[in-house]
A and B are shown apart, each in its own frame.
Chain A
Amino acid sequence: MGKDIIVLDALTYEYRKEDEEQPVKALDGVSLSVAEGSFTAVLGKNGSGKSTLAKNINALLLPSGGAVYVDGFNTADEAHVWEIRQRAGMVFQNPDNQLVSAIVEDDVAFGPENLGVATEEIKLRIERSLKSVGMYEFRKKGPHMLSGGQKQRVAIAGVIAMRPKCVIFDEPTAMLDPKGREEVMDVIRMLHGEGVTIVLITHFMEEAVHADRVVILDDGRVALDGTPEEVFLEMEAIREMALDAPLVVELADRLRRRGWDVPPVIKMEEMVEYLCR
């Protein structure tokens, strides 16, 4: 793995609620470095600061304290905001809020056009990014004709067309049906395989086991940080933070209590391997 593409240095983000004197700290001194090419899952209950963290990475929000660097650029430096957004693309929860054009291929062209990419090159990028998410045959369609998973894949194609080094996904599957979730997770894994750095914010523990690092935020601070194996074995701490362990971890724990010597497993395949050996 390469250098750190995202560096959060004691990031604090405060906002003021109406009628209240004291500002609320959505993020409280978060220090975190994300290696280029890595796949990090960020978990935490509603209100733990996950989305605020994501928006600080591509300068949609600016730190109240500390600093955020993306590929060496300080997000507080207004002169570099487009370099930052080109390098760190974002995909949000609701696909309907992200698609701006009436035709799929125009939507994908929107980002690169704004970067001033040449027309011929844009055509190439549209083709490549739509093909890579399996949506090329829908290029002439209107986004309203698509399913949730398809819309989300078009949103991802729009981000890929910017050639980002890193993509931050903020609960990209929360509004999708099971098939849509699978489609989007496949695309995320494919991007990771191609070397794109992935930051995935999710409430689904089953998605997080595919990451190579899991960070759990709680009340604006980093509560746990490690490999999925390390983090998900902290079951008590995870429950206290209003989260769940993945099904397999829960099952292994229950079987251990019945006296079976189950090894530390987090993925379905690992459980199957143990039980079928």
Chain B
Amino acid sequence: MSIVVKNLRHVYGEGTPYESVALDDVSLEIADGEFVSIIGHTGSGKSTLVQHLNGILKPKSGEVLVGGVNIAAKGVNLPEVRRKIGLLFQYPEYQLFEETLYKDIAFGPTNLGLSADAVDSRVREAMALTGLDFDALSERSPFELSGGQKRKAAIAGVLAMGPEALVLDEPTAGLDPRSHRDILAMIRRIREERGITIILISHNMGDVAEVSDRVYVMDGGRIAFFGTPAQVFANKARLKQSGLGLPPTLELAELLRAGGADIEGDPLTLDEAVELIDAYLERRGA
């Protein structure tokens, strides 16, 4: 599902003394099946932007095109847009509500009017894709699950709707390191197996560098700049200006270069950092 945003503007509290421009002339283009991350400090407009993608917020001006269709146009079926674009808010586990995990995940597809069999296969598939053991967990209360499992359960509920794009707002916040890795691996698996578009909002520069095809940087309600992770993270000065930092491996490489080590390249992952430092040590030894 392609997503195109053109000259989007949004103002909170328009006409009141608290009026503030949350989005100002934001444009972006996300291709079908692309993995795009949006980074920016708190209040830079990330969450406001993604709430426009499935019509929760309406543009003051500008357009949002989902699969080529302007979602604010007359006659557009908004529930259908919301089914196509699955939006996961921060701490989505607070939205779990059913008695059992099965019922919670089945809630959406049931409301789509699917048959019991079709709902059942959707629940099973969503649980498999998110790494939740059907036999062990489907009849458990969602509230008894661990933090990481709850988060996966909320994502499974959205996947069961059969979305063509998934928007995840800080999906790893507050999780321990293993649950964090699990969720990240799960997102990649969803993308590989379903081939759907993924939009990730994250404060974790290491994650963003590792998983994204492209990165948009937001600042003060605008798109400050964008590009591949390598392009974006090469622009240290602009990142700093936008209140952001570097992925830790790149930060280390910068410190090493400042200390006189000739590290050749910008490592975005631990694997790359190991290669570059190994190569440097070989050169130094020789």
Interface size counted on chain A using CB atoms at 8 A? 40
A46 and B147 contact, Cβ closer than 8 Å, known pairs A180-B42, A275-B256: yes
> In the complex, are the beta carbons of A242 and B179 less than 8 A apart?
yes
Q: Mark B246-273, 1 if CB is under 8 A from A, else 0.
A: 0011011001100111000000001001
Residues of B within 8 A of A93 (CB): 174
Name which residue of chain B comes closest to A180, CB basis. Answer: B42
From residue B110, how far is it (CB to closest CB) to chain A in Å? 26
Residues of A within 8 A of B177 (CB): 45, 203, 205, 242-244
> In the complex, are the beta carbons of A272 and B243 less than 8 A apart?
no
Name which residue of chain A comes closest to B170, CB basis. Answer: A175
Alpha-carbon gap, A45 to B179, bound state (A): 8
The answer to whether B194 has its CB under 8 Å from any CB of chain A is no
Name which residue of chain B comes closest to A260, CB basis. Answer: B281
From residue B96, how far is it (CB to closest CB) to chain A in Å? 16
Q: Mark B228-246, 1 if CB is under 8 A from A, else 0.
A: 0000000000000001110
A178 and B179 contact, Cβ closer than 8 Å, known pairs A206-B248, A254-B274: no
A147 and B43 contact, Cβ closer than 8 Å, known pairs A178-B244, A260-B278: yes
Alpha-carbon gap, A260 to B243, bound state (A): 36
> In the complex, are the beta carbons of A177 and B261 less than 8 A apart?
no
A46 and B252 contact, Cβ closer than 8 Å, known pairs A149-B42, A175-B173, A243-B176: no
The answer to whether B205 has its CB under 8 Å from any CB of chain A is yes
> In the complex, are the beta carbons of B174 and A272 less than 8 A apart?
no
The answer to whether A263 has its CB under 8 Å from any CB of chain B is no
Chain B at the A interface: mostly helix, strand, loop or mixed? helix
The answer to whether A102 has its CB under 8 Å from any CB of chain B is no
From residue A130, how far is it (CB to closest CB) to chain B in Å? 20
Which residues of B in the span 173-211 have a Cβ within 8 Å of any Cβ on A? 173-181, 203, 205
The answer to whether A174 has its CB under 8 Å from any CB of chain B is yes
Which residues of A in the span 78-121 have a Cβ within 8 Å of any Cβ on B? 93
From residue A140, how far is it (CB to closest CB) to chain B in Å? 15
Q: Mark A241-277, 1 if CB is under 8 A from B, else 0.
A: 0111001101100110010100000001101110110
Alpha-carbon gap, A32 to B147, bound state (A): 26
Q: Which of A44, A148, A251 contacts B273 (CB 8 A)?
A: A251
The answer to whether B14 has its CB under 8 Å from any CB of chain A is no
The answer to whether A59 has its CB under 8 Å from any CB of chain B is no
The answer to whether B25 has its CB under 8 Å from any CB of chain A is no
Residues of B within 8 A of A251 (CB): 252, 270, 273-274, 277
> In the complex, are the beta carbons of A47 and B41 less than 8 A apart?
no
The answer to whether B131 has its CB under 8 Å from any CB of chain A is no
Q: Which of A177, A203, A244, A250 contacts B174 (CB 8 A)?
A: A203
Alpha-carbon gap, A203 to B249, bound state (A): 19
> In the complex, are the beta carbons of A275 and B42 less than 8 A apart?
no
> In the complex, are the beta carbons of B203 and A177 less than 8 A apart?
yes
Q: Mark A165-180, 1 if CB is under 8 A from B, else 0.
A: 0000001001111111
Name which residue of chain A comes closest to B177, CB basis. Answer: A244
> In the complex, are the beta carbons of A255 and B277 less than 8 A apart?
yes
A247 and B274 contact, Cβ closer than 8 Å, known pairs A149-B42, A275-B256, A276-B261: no
Alpha-carbon gap, A175 to B147, bound state (A): 15
The answer to whether B146 has its CB under 8 Å from any CB of chain A is yes
The answer to whether A17 has its CB under 8 Å from any CB of chain B is yes
> In the complex, are the beta carbons of B274 and A255 less than 8 A apart?
yes
From residue A261, how far is it (CB to closest CB) to chain B in Å? 10
Name which residue of chain A comes closest to B239, CB basis. Answer: A178
Q: What are the 5 tightest A-B residue pairs by CB atom distance, in nearest-first order? A: A242-B178, A276-B259, A46-B147, A244-B177, A45-B176
29 A-B contact pairs sorted by A residue (CB < 8 Å)? A45-B178, A45-B179, A46-B175, A46-B176, A147-B43, A149-B42, A174-B173, A174-B174, A177-B42, A178-B243, A179-B243, A203-B176, A242-B177, A242-B179, A243-B178, A244-B177, A247-B248, A247-B252, A251-B277, A254-B270, A254-B274, A255-B278, A258-B278, A260-B278, A268-B251, A271-B252, A272-B255, A273-B259, A275-B281
